[in-house]
Structure 1
Amino acid sequence: MARFAGKSIIVTGAGSGIGRAASLLFAAEGGRLIVADKTEGAEETAQAIGEAGGTARAIRIDAGSEAEVVAAVELAVAEFGGLDVFFANAGISGGMANIFDTTPELMAEVLRVNLIGPFLAIKHGAPRIAERGGGAIVLTASVAGIRSGAGSPAYSASKAGVINLAMTAAQQLSGSNVRVNALCPGLTETGMTQRVFDYAREAGKIDKVGRLNPLRRGAQAEELARAALFLASDDASYVNGQALAVDGGLSSSHPVTRQEYGLTAV
């Protein structure tokens, strides 16, 4: 497959987890990448893409800084002649503080990275994508943005904002052929959640991770990356303003007493 042959693509949060997995897949399908992260992981991802025969340029940015997002977009234009896809994936967890332990400063920082970052990707990426005749913007939200129970108040509020931002942007970009969608991961093994998975393995309880969803497991980063690629590709040419939950079925139900229906794996 070469769904992204010749396409110019920016991925933020590309230094690890879903961002790195998506960057590698975009490149494998012919995309030319600007891999952006605030850590040295950006260079590591670009190196891995180059070693696999792909094209990538690394840039260190704070995804919540307007000047630095603009710099990433300008680099894509300078290096690859324009922009076709922006995967605004960077985010932070902000810890697990409850409402009463959450400070205004923590709330502001989580919103700055998780919500203002995607806003900046749309603000500065959409015009460049429109210049190329259209393309896609994918924003990483979360099942925590769909309903409570999957994250802290700050994180959950920020991701709910991302979902609404995708809807609002899709409407305001009407006629531009720029699609905007939100990806809503469930529990996924990334740098943000690594301690949970590592602890479960050390304690011999890895089978308990993700047990509340019907698939009864957590996800791997590449599973989310493949969903992001779908939303960014022409395969999703009529998908716009949507929030795609990739969570093993977790968000398909309200809390219930689980029943077995005779179809569980042997």
Structure 2
Amino acid sequence: MGNEWNGSVVIVTGAASGIGRASVHAFAAAGAKVIASDIAEGVEALADEIPGGMCVALRGDAGDEAHVIALVAEAERHGTLRGFFANAGITGGPATVSEADPALWMAVLRVNLVGPALAIKHAAPVMARHGAGAITCTASVAGLRAGAGPAAYSASKAGLINLVKVSALELAGSNVRVNAICPGLIETNMTQKYIDQARAAGLGKMVGATNPLRRPGQPEEVAGLALFLTSAAAAFVNGQAIAIDGGLSASHPTTPRTAASPALAPAAGAARAASN
């Protein structure tokens, strides 16, 4: 049986670091030709890292329509465009709703929401002509509920989750799938500063402690999900927002059980029974 990725091309934005960089390596290792995009200079080194000429780097802005059009055109020159991982994103800083000005809102929405919309707009018709394709967008647990990110960032990711669902319906019958990945705390350039600060203060065990796995995720783990969603193994997965967060979004805030409190669950059960 041949490699399902032979002749396939996948576009990855936000490719210079973190989840994007790990995903470029994952897709190339699987056998796909990768068009790697990022506004950062580091993206150009990826082509040298990936053996066999399996990566082409194009530096540019994922929120700029001309750049997205160029990415799709470049993909078409190298094979069959099968996947687009719209991963590029920015936080916009910690501003609250009352602090953020219109310029900040527009900057965050342009990259985090308009960028993926442009990816869908320009990649989906090409994929449909080839008979199939998958577009995966990096959203966030911050888009699922409040408390996991700044205001503009969180709102942009919530909008992205809805965009994925709307697009999946609009593309009905095309065999082009659209899904979102919702990472929790992942150890990337975006979060490294805060993780390093916690570790320097002797609070390393607290990093990721709010999820049941009690650790931050790694970019390679998210890349694995992106690879799966683009593969034939996920052929019936469409219009979904899939959390990859160590279980963080599985619960509302609660007091965690520990080895020191084995009676916590029975006591809570007794309290509920007494109230019925």
TM-score for the superposition, normalised by structure 2: 0.91
Deviation string, structure 1 residues 200-221 (Cα, Å, up to 9, x no partner): 2322322111101111111111
SS in 1 for 2:165: helix
Deviation string, structure 1 residues 7-30 (Cα, Å, up to 9, x no partner): 111000011000000000100000
Equivalent of residue 221 in structure 2, options 220, 223, 226: 223
Cα distance in 2 for partners of 1:199, 1:135 equals: 41
The alignment's C-alpha RMSD in Å is: 1.4
Match of 1:75 in 2: 74
Higher alpha-carbon Rg: 2
Asked if residue 60 in structure 1 is aligned to residue 74 in structure 2, the reply is no
**Contact 2:86/2:137 (CA < 8 Å) preserved in 1?**
yes
Q: State the identity as a percent.
A: 57
Letter in 2 for 1:165: L
Letter in 2 for 1:56: C
Structure 1 residues 31 and 128: alpha-carbon distance in aligned structure 2, compared to 1, 3 A threshold: same
SS in 2 for 1:90: coil
Q: Which moved more, 1:226-235 or 1:241-250?
A: 226-235
Match of 1:160 in 2: 158
Per the TM alignment, residue 2 of structure 1 is displaced from its structure 2 partner at its CA by 4.5
Asked if residue 124 in structure 1 is aligned to residue 125 in structure 2, the reply is no
Deviation string, structure 1 residues 117-165 (Cα, Å, up to 9, x no partner): 0000000010111111101000000000000000011000000011001
**Contact 1:88/1:117 (CA < 8 Å) preserved in 2?**
yes
Asked if residue 259 in structure 1 is aligned to residue 257 in structure 2, the reply is yes
Aligned residues: 259
TM-score for the superposition, normalised by structure 1: 0.94
**Contact 2:33/2:54 (CA < 8 Å) preserved in 1?**
yes
SS in 2 for 1:87: strand
Deviation string, structure 1 residues 233-264 (Cα, Å, up to 9, x no partner): 111110000000000000001112222476xx
Per the TM alignment, residue 3 of structure 1 is displaced from its structure 2 partner at its CA by 4.6
Match of 2:100 in 1: 102
**Contact 2:7/2:80 (CA < 8 Å) preserved in 1?**
no
5 Å-filtered alignment, 1:193-232, equals 193-232=191-230
Asked if residue 238 in structure 1 is aligned to residue 236 in structure 2, the reply is yes
Cα distance in 1 for partners of 2:80, 2:26 equals: 20
Match of 2:12 in 1: 11
Per the TM alignment, residue 81 of structure 1 is displaced from its structure 2 partner at its CA by 3.3
Stretches of structure 2 that go unaligned for 5 or more consecutive residues are: 263-276
Deviation string, structure 1 residues 67-126 (Cα, Å, up to 9, x no partner): 111011111112x13411000000001111111111111011100000000000000010
Match of 1:183 in 2: 181
Per the TM alignment, residue 198 of structure 1 is displaced from its structure 2 partner at its CA by 1.7
Equivalent of residue 93 in structure 1, options 91, 94, 101: 91
SS in 2 for 1:125: helix
**Contact 1:49/1:55 (CA < 8 Å) preserved in 2?**
yes
Letter in 2 for 1:70: I
Cα distance in 1 for partners of 2:42, 2:31 equals: 21
Q: Which moved more, 1:5-14 or 1:173-182?
A: 5-14
Per the TM alignment, residue 197 of structure 1 is displaced from its structure 2 partner at its CA by 1.8
**Contact 2:8/2:79 (CA < 8 Å) preserved in 1?**
no
Stretches of structure 1 that go unaligned for 5 or more consecutive residues are: none
